[in-house]
Amino acid sequence: MSLLSTRGLSRSFAGLRAVHEVDFDLPKGEVRALIGPNGAGKTTFVSLLCGRILPTSGQVFFDGRDISALPAHRRIGLGMAYTFQITSVFSRLSAYENVALAARRRVHGRAEVDRVVMRALEQAGLHDRPDQPAGDLSYGHQRLLEIAMGLAQAPRLLILDEPTQGLSDGEVAAFKALIRGLKDSTTILLIEHNMSVVMETADRVTVLNFGEILAEGTPAEIHANAQVQAAYLGTG
Ligand SMILES: Nc1ncnc2c1ncn2[C@@H]1O[C@H](COP(=O)(O)OP(=O)(O)OP(=O)(O)O)[C@@H](O)[C@H]1O
């Protein structure tokens, strides 16, 4: 069964169809990459999923429930976690405290919070620097810290918007390993421009173009798809 679905999901900005009539299904346990040329509507689409913006028309379903009208914090409460392109860590707080803020939304008591925080830091590869102020971490490590903050919420769905943008090669490798390690426990929707990340982590790929789904398939199928290649080259 799908953990997340949309039906006829649309959002316009002053007549521009940023997302248009999208029917989307993400089965439980899948890692799905969402790709598409600049301006294709990817960020708008995930903003609609998260409730950061409301649709012009259409519905979003989470675990079979229509959540189209739920505010963002209620969706988080149902088990959706997301990180966006802009880092949102508190730079003066330690890595540990940033993750603890997220963990305390779900668990209580010092020992339990500590267990959840250390596990999330470990998964993100940051367990050797819990006391470092987040603002002193490299940009790549701040992005990984945000993912740790998402993981501390034990999300049923983790949405990551361009998580590897600005990361070094070594950090991208760490990110790929992180996603592979999460595969059995979390459903993941990943907006990603780095094709090696898509090819190595995604079970399936959805391609958006001009706000509509252009293609869906395995990474190999998408890689070989002539329409997708044309969309990226702008010759379609
Ligand atoms: N708040 C807004 N007001 C007006 N237009 C918007 C707004 N948000 C997005 N758009 C427009 O909607 C279209 C889709 O934008 P969106 O950011 O969702 O694309 P994207 O696929 O995430 O692009 P990128 O890969 O560059 O991040 C673009 O034409 C964009 O200019």
Residue 57: φ, ψ to 5°: -160, 165
**Nearest ligand 1 atom, CA 53:** 1
Spatial separation of the C-alpha atoms in residues 29 and 53, rounded to whole Å? 26
ipTM (interface predicted TM)? 0.94
Residue nearest to atom 24 of ligand 1 (CA): 38
Q: Is 13 in the pocket of ligand 1 (CB under 6 A)?
A: yes
Residue 86 has a pLDDT of 56
Spatial separation of the C-alpha atoms in residues 75 and 235, rounded to whole Å? 39
Q: Is 39 in the pocket of ligand 1 (CB under 6 A)?
A: yes
User: pLDDT tens for residues 101-137?
Assistant: 989 988 999 999 999 999 999 988 899 999 999 999 9
User: pLDDT tens for residues 95-108?
Assistant: 999 999 989 988 99
Domain ranges of the chain: 1-79+162-236, 88-154
pTM (2 d.p.): 0.90
As its CATH architecture, domain 1-79+162-236 has: 3-Layer(aba) Sandwich (3.40)
Q: Taking the CA of residue 91 as centre, how many other CA atoms within 13 Å lie in the half-sphere pointing to its CB?
A: 6
Q: Is 142 in the pocket of ligand 1 (CB under 6 A)?
A: no
Distance 19 CA to ligand 1 centre (A): 9
DSSP the chain: -EEEEEEEEEEEETTEEEEEEEEEEEETT-EEEEE-STTSSHHHHHHHHHTSS--SEEEEEETTEE-TT--HHHHHHHTEEEE-SS----TTSBHHHHHHHHHTTT--SHHHHHHHHHHHHHHTT-TT-TTSBGGGS-HHHHHHHHHHHHHTT--SEEEEESTTTT--HHHHHHHHHHHHHHTTT-EEEEE---HHHHHHH-SEEEEEETTEEEEEE-HHHHHT-HHHHHHHHT--
Mutate to test the pocket of ligand 1, among 9, 12, 42 (most ligand atoms within 8 A of CB): 42
